[in-house]
Amino acid sequence: MARPHGGGLDRMATVCYPSSGQMTAAFAAVAKYYGAGVDICPPRRGNRKRVVEKANHSAAQRWWHTVPDGLSVVQAQSGVDKLAIRMDERRRRIDGVVTTVGELAAVEPLLDIPVRPFPAELEVERTVSAQSLVQFDGNFYSVPPGLPGVQVKVLHRVGEDDLRVATAGRVVIAQHRRAPRGAGQTVRDDGHVIALERAVLASFSDRAPCKNKVRKPLSEAALAEAERLRGQTVAGNPAERVVIDLSHYAAVADRLRSVPPSTKEENPE
């Protein structure tokens, strides 16, 4: 919200369009509700606003720094009242007539504040959980079943005790009494509970349970395919290589241990 400055407002986007100075429709509704006139400060007129800011600085900073420790609430309020009287005695010249700030404020009395605040509406997006609940301000609120994972909008108007849950097209599907903020409560509508129970019971079936798995023997085709796979040799796999029987090497080694007889006859002398 913009800050008031001597009867005028900053050229903020929340109040007006900064380029043109035209007030927005949303802020016009706020001003009409409180019965206040809105004067948009001209562009590049910072000096005008700094005068009021300096007065606010005197009230909020200079007085606060002089407050001693241990001062009671009544004594602090008395000090603020004395400061307000001194500030009301500041002199001003309006159309050539010398007056004070207090006299100017006396001829411009403030209107009574409305009993209820401006009905601004807070809108947030939430995703429906598998339990048909949406979360808002630390609590959970129910919605009709059949909407898990759907994006909905939680709407709460300032000053009201109820909140609404609406679809993306702003169709209200639930309304609840708002629980205290951060209470961790789960608020369910009786109609939602009954509908959810019916949906859960409807998902059950009276059909016979599944039979246990029957272990059937392998068919002749399966056995033939298994034998074919066992006969194949996987290239490069050491586990599939042929192992030679070492008994063959042992028999050859035994024959080589004995010296064969000579076949040449000895010549007589």
For strands 91-94 and 4-5, give the pairing.
unpaired
Q: In whole angstroms, what is the distance from residue 119 CA to residue 126 CA? A: 22
Contact at 8 Å (CB) between 87 and 56? no
Q: Is the pTM of this model over 0.75?
A: no
Helix (H) or strand (E) holding 83: helix 73-88
Instruction: Look at residue 180 and tell me whether its pLDDT is greater than 50.
Output: yes
With cut-offs at 50, 70 and 90, classify the pLDDT of residue 207. confident
What percentage of residues in the chain have a pLDDT greater than 90? 21
Whether the per-residue pLDDT at 178 is higher than 60: the answer is: yes
- Does residue 44 or residue 6 have the better pLDDT? 44
CA distance 246 to 264: 35
pLDDT of residue 4: 41
Where does the pLDDT of residue 176 fall: very low under 50, low under 70, confident under 90, or very high at 90 and above? very high
Q: Tell which wins on pLDDT, 100 or 207.
A: 100
Q: Give the helix/strand (H/E) hosting 199.
A: helix 190-202
Residue 151 has pLDDT above 90, yes or no: yes
Reply yes or no on whether the pLDDT at 6 is more than 60.
Answer: no
